[in-house]
Structure 1
């Protein structure tokens, strides 16, 4: 039996998790560098919950400066099995106004400055990202929202831009024409790394603005983004708390295969693997890289 442990990453405007009980702050070392902040580890109901502010308390880190690998690595070391990412985003659809929560199920990665994999020279692996969001975890979020009276839109595509600048009008119109639903700066490579770490991932995208395509909202201001994000922080906390209280004690298999994503992903033969790289992968991929389980995919 694998205990279900819920991880929560708080985005812009969400730097703490009200309702977390028996809280202890813990700094977990990672071979991938410094994570964004201490982990706040506690419980909601009978479920163990681990909270990490993505940008650090005080919003010290821009989207491009976040050490996504270290963040996912320390959450894995803390035992997280299911991860809910709370993220501010812009909307490309009139029917997704500021204040709405969107449970996205697809991503388009337009980032260019970030380390997007734990694997590479010395140990090569390829995981599927066809369905990056865990359907069962997303369903639990939808059910929790309904139970709490929180209006959400289920489904949609999140395009992740590099930032830290907001979109140009040309970019905004192009993304809207491409059929994307929301835009943000942080869910990639976060979702990719969670999949490599065999952590089930789901996003609660909090719409804070209409990007700049909308003729009545032709500019995005940080003050507006933070105001909406803070106004929604209470709903986000209620949503997460309900998910935590309803989460089964035992980890559920993920229909998208996130719980076994590395099962046949490692390409590098055991004898060719760089021991230093393998040592860094102890938490993320120890299940498949241990001598008793190693094999050529």
Structure 2
């Protein structure tokens, strides 16, 4: 039987190809040109010496691969050029990105993080939502956020009412992520004519706008929401709203895609 050290070395050897791919993506990425932290990761990748080192580089590689799939070369170049105008802001952003990737407790989170970052690169979401969604990934377990997204799209009630609707699902473990929040409903009942009324309160989980964004982005439906401009926000009907969401009840193309990905009868 092989020793723990020998098994570890086998893992490192088997992961060499994946590490080389990650290093290649790092050096070729339009987003990371002239970024000091990227150079550090590149040098770090060349001296892999432990399983955590390998896992980190694999997470970085998956992140970059997904970003490349979700964005065009021109979009990545435009984003990088814009960041060059403020070196401190640029370095801080990418340092935060690598730190988040390093903290992920599951390699799959790198893919979800990349989808969120791609929406930021393509101006689908603001920096505030990018930061909040990134934090949500760190705060939640992979199982919880996958269940949230799956439940969101399988609950057909969400399709025919406000996307920030109350839900009878238990999302208690996700409250810290701000994908959901709590709402207190008041219900006054009078017990017989002339008798005193009694007030009942129901506590519901409410899907927030951030939760809607995550549900759309994580399932690759990001083309069906848009960021509202100042003129659109100024209309009273859009008060306090920042994003406009298509729903399967209003967009036939989205309805078909949701039905294909989350069929009712399985």
TM-score (norm 1): 0.22
Quick check: which has more Rg, 1 or 2?
Answer: 2
Higher strand share: 1
In the superposition, the TM-score normalised over structure 2's length comes to: 0.24
Higher RCO, 1 or 2 (CA under 8 Å, sep at least 6)?
1
